[in-house]
Structure 1
Amino acid sequence: MKTINSVAITLFAFAVLVGCTPKMNFVNSTIAPAATGTINVKKDKNNNYKVTVSVLNLAESKKLSPAKETYLVWMEAAGNSVKKLGQLAPRGKALKGELTATVVDKPNEVFVTAEDNPEIEYPAGDVILTTRK
């Protein structure tokens, strides 16, 4: 009986932990087809959300056609409000990039755009990666 209770408690704890850290994947891109990535969202003790974006094989923005200055990461939350999370700069042989941001609202969608100006407040460039299906 104790074994069954232990297994049930362990499974419940695992389900709670997995439920608190949703993982989203980017949909394949037609602009950068080799690019892949994941987004992890975790709620912290202050009821904020820590969003970690990881990408691989994301070509340098200057090599796009037309060339762009940078990649910016955005999120869409409840009420369709769009917020810039920050700049993404892939580096190294694997063209790996990572960005971590803390936000108040839980993201419904996360997307990466190629932009001419890193200071913009709203997305204007091509969407390179998105979680929208």
Structure 2
Amino acid sequence: MKTIHAAALTLAIAIALSSCTPKMMFGTSSIVPAASGEVHVKKDKNKNYIVSVDVQNLAEASKLTPSKNIYLVWAESSEESAKKLGQLVPTGKVLKAELKATTIAEPRTVFITAEDNADVLYPDGQIILTTRK
């Protein structure tokens, strides 16, 4: 009986671990050197990927040179090129921003660009932070 429970527990742990990818860290930005953050990706019960982006010290886009209006988060997967996940708005003393988004393809790279408007279909502005090595 103990072996059945041990096998079931081992199987449950293996399934839980396979539904998550390791967290991805953003590299240091030459444009906003104080900015830092990470990305967590989890697979949900519908086999979609939940992407959670957390960044700190992300200067307001209007203070960049050249000045921009917004930050957009993008994900690239092995199946598709850059897909827009959403907008980041840094707030508070530590200029923190968070985003949760869903995508059907597992992200291999997540990056943040500074853009003039949210209507862009493809990344057009400077890449501020990226998980690409």
Per the normalisation by structure 1, the TM-score is 0.88
Q: Which runs of 5+ in 2 are unaligned?
A: none
Structure 2 CA distance for aligned equivalents of residues 106 and 35 of structure 1: 25
Q: Which residue of 1 aligns with 2:108?
A: 108
Q: Which residue of 2 aligns with 1:127?
A: 127
Q: CA RMSD in A?
A: 1.9
What is the count of residue pairs matched by the alignment?
Answer: 130
Q: Which runs of 5+ in 1 are unaligned?
A: none
Structure 1 CA distance for aligned equivalents of residues 114 and 13 of structure 2: 38
Q: Which residue of 2 aligns with 1:64?
A: 64
The percentage of aligned residue pairs carrying the same residue is: 54
Write the mapping of 1:29-48 to structure 2, written as runs, cut at 5 A: 29-48=29-48
Structure 1 CA distance for aligned equivalents of residues 9 and 62 of structure 2: 49
Structure 1 CA distance for aligned equivalents of residues 116 and 80 of structure 2: 24
Q: Which residue of 2 aligns with 1:99?
A: 99
Q: Is 2:51 the counterpart of 1:51? A: yes
Per the normalisation by structure 2, the TM-score is 0.88
Deviation at 1:80, TM superposition (A): 4.4
Q: Which residue of 1 aligns with 2:26?
A: 26
Deviation at 1:56, TM superposition (A): 0.4
Deviation at 1:21, TM superposition (A): 2.0
Structure 1 CA distance for aligned equivalents of residues 10 and 33 of structure 2: 38
Three-state SS of the structure 2 residue aligned to 1:54 is strand
Deviation at 1:96, TM superposition (A): 0.3
Three-state SS of the structure 1 residue aligned to 2:16 is helix
Letter aligned with residue 20 of structure 2: T
